Amino acid sequence: MIVIAIDGPAGAGKGTLARRLADHYRLNLLDTGLTYRAVAYALLQHALPLDNVSAAETAARQVDLAKLDRAMLSAHAVGEAASKVAVYPTVRRILVEKQRDFAKTPPGAVLDGRDIGTVVCPDADIKLYVTASAEVRAQRRLAEIESIGGSANFSEILADIVRRDERDMGRADSPLKPADDAHLLDTSEMAIEAAFLAAKTIIDDALAKRDKA
Ligand code: DC
């Protein structure tokens, strides 16, 4: 069993990195952000306010990890709404339980999110905290939007990212922060391949030490 925990702010590249690592080590993969997005999506779809905690709890109970539809949940507004429903401890508890069950399933998993190393899988074999400066993350998001023919304003994207960071880092329950034993990976000046190789070196070292112990 191997469990790899990846945390970091929105847009730092942890999703792509998690997918590369899950492929490489042949592990299950869970983007835990999708679970919070699924709850937000259910509320938005029924035109319910995002602070309707009991509706959010019901939606959280109904989340099926095998049926998370990335395309349906990818809208920027859904991410914003997810960050708002993610402040409620009862909603988090329901989702965290499902995430832990997923992590326990052989042969193990890569999970990415905000609280994987600190709360969901505190005993993970390897914890990575992936960051990049807010400016770099905003630049990447702008390039992504432009690559699909869209247009956006850099300073609005940047303000959005800063606001999301503040909400995710500032909440009382399970705020985004590196676990004490996390390896920090700053991808501000790294392409995805370099980030993958850096992560692989950290993981191979940790696994070699674990297997020797
Ligand atoms: O990674 P993402 O953008 O899909 O996440 C959307 C929101 O969900 C994020 O802003 C905060 C919340 N989230 C969380 O609180 N804990 C997680 N483990 C994953 C996401």
- pLDDT of the residue at 213: 83
Residue with tokens 């329901």: 94
User: Where are the domains positioned within the chain?
Assistant: 2-203
- pLDDT of the residue at 66: 97
How do the pLDDT tens digits run along the chain, 213 residues long?
Answer: 999 999 999 989 999 999 999 999 999 999 999 999 999 999 999 999 999 999 999 999 999 999 999 999 999 899 999 999 999 999 999 999 999 999 999 999 999 999 999 999 999 999 999 999 999 999 999 998 999 999 999 999 999 999 999 999 999 999 999 999 999 999 999 999 999 999 999 999 999 998 898
Residue nearest to atom 10 of ligand 1 (CA): 83
Q: Where are the alpha helices (DSSP H) in 28-182?
A: 33-45, 53-62, 70-73, 76-85, 89-104, 134-147, 154-170
- pLDDT of the residue at 167: 95
Task: Tell which one of 119, 168, 173 to mutate to probe ligand 1, the residue whose CB is within 8 A of the most ligand atoms.
Answer: 168
How many C-beta atoms lie closer than 10 Å to residue 188's C-beta? Answer: 14
Contact between 146 and 91 under an 8 Å Cβ cutoff? The reply is: no
Q: Percent of the chain beyond pLDDT 70?
A: 100
Query: Average pLDDT over the chain, rounded to whole?
Result: 96
Contacts of 194 (CB under 8 A, 6+ apart): none
CA distance linking residue 111 with residue 21, whole number of Å:
10
Contact between 12 and 168 under an 8 Å Cβ cutoff? The reply is: no
Residues with CB under 6 A from ligand 1: 10, 32-33, 36-37, 79, 82-83, 86, 113-115, 164, 168
Q: Is it true that domain 2-203 has CATH number 3.40.50.300?
A: yes
- pLDDT of the residue at 140: 93
Contact between 164 and 9 under an 8 Å Cβ cutoff? The reply is: yes
* Phi and psi torsions of 71, nearest 5°: -60, -40
Dist. CA 32 → ligand 1 center (Å): 7
Give the CA distances from residue 102 to residues 34, 122, 178, 192, in Å, rounded to whole numbers and listed in that order. 14, 14, 22, 26
* Phi and psi torsions of 72, nearest 5°: -70, -30
Tell me if residue 2 falls in helix, strand or coil. Answer: strand
Contact between 115 and 176 under an 8 Å Cβ cutoff? The reply is: yes
DSSP conformational letter for 29:
E
pLDDT in tens, 151-203: 999 999 999 999 999 999 999 999 999 999 999 999 999 999 999 999 999 99
Dist. CA 76 → ligand 1 center (Å): 12
